[in-house]
Amino acid sequence: MTFTSPVASEQARFIEGVAGSLSSFLSEQRGVMATVSPDVDPLIGAISSLVTGGKRLRALMCYWGWRGAGGPADDPDIVTAGCALELFQAAALIHDDIIDRSDTRRGGPSVHKRFSQLHETNGWALDSEHFGDAAAILTGDLCLSFSEEAFSDIGTRAASGSPARRIFNVMRAEVMAGQYLDILEEVAGPVRDRAGSVDRARSIIRYKSAKYSMEHPLALGGALAGASAELLAGYSGFSLPLGEAFQMRDDVLGVFGDPATTGKPAGDDLREGKRTVLVGFALNQASAAEAAYLDRMLGNPGLAGEDVARIRHLMVDCGALDATESLIAQLSTDAFEALERLPLDGLALQALGQLAEAAVSRAA
């Protein structure tokens, strides 16, 4: 006899509801797009494929923010909110992969790569890569539009001027600003003061990832359920350091992770020129010669395996990996201590604790 915990059982029902909502929503949109032309169907197909996978982390944070604030488990509004967050996440991933020139996502081709392959398979004219990028940008934009449409379907709780609407709007704007800071640091970092590299990387993490991965989804669920300002502040005290630790773990995996587990080639973040907290510590703690070498190698798309290995050794030897792991541990401690202070019932507290543990200790 298999025992399923109350948390797992409730999460499974919610995830199933979000999956069904996404399927129904995109099926309806496929019909709308068919009235334009059958040629645009691959846009919907790309979105459907992307939202089918993933951990549903943001949707789950939203759900438990809702439940912790007293929202009922069977309310369709929270399922719709989860659907909107998943669509927004998909849009962010599509655009992020174009910006990073990343050809893989979750072990398969990224959306822009799918479209360039479609071009090549059909023997179309002109540049397949340009077509792939252009089609993926439009797909991401369409996904953003769908996310807004889905969120608006919630109705009164998400109406203009409501706390939930303000959180949703700020979340989307901050991600774009954080993404810009990320690409700015890639080009400006080499000529900026190295002493500020860790602080700049942490600012990028906060606005590009931590807030929209953890803080805003949790607060959004709470706001939809009518949470008090005090509870929302408590949610932030837990979820913001958790979000920063989550992204730093992702950055460590981007250099030291197993490609078979992460679904991305080893060292891809280095080839993309990501100036992460890990990189910032390395630039500050390595010798001048090693730091100069790292500066030269970052952003080199042809970075060889032996260079990736050398950079890994550099990061270990100079203490950058240990410094990053220490910071992840401190942020995790801050998050768990804040979680213990939240006035939540046992189920929501247990669920958020499990999500937090999975976020900071993951291998993919």
DSSP 90-150: HHHHHHHHHHTT--EETTEE-HHHHHHHHHHHHT-SS-HHHHHHHHHHHHHHHHHHHHHHH
User: Structurally, what CATH architecture does the domain formed by 6-361 represent?
Assistant: Orthogonal Bundle (1.10)
Q: In angstroms, how far is CA 188 from the centroid of its own chain?
A: 24
Where do the structural domains in the chain lie, given as residue ranges?
A: 6-361
Range of lowest pLDDT (126-135, 143-152, 249-258) = 249-258
Whether residue 349 is predicted with pLDDT greater than 80 in this model: the reply is yes
Evaluate if residue 4 carries a pLDDT over 80.
no
Q: pLDDT, tens digit, for every residue of 214-255?
A: 999 999 999 999 999 999 999 999 999 999 999 999 999 999
Mean pLDDT of 169-197: 95
The confidence band for 267, taking pLDDT boundaries of 50, 70 and 90, is: confident
Name the residue among 77, 226, 81, 56 with its Cα closest to residue 148: 81
Instruction: State the pTM of this model.
Output: 0.94
**Whole-number Å distance between alpha carbons of 269 and 255:** 7
Q: What is the pLDDT of residues 297-314, one digit of tens each?
A: 999 989 999 999 999 999
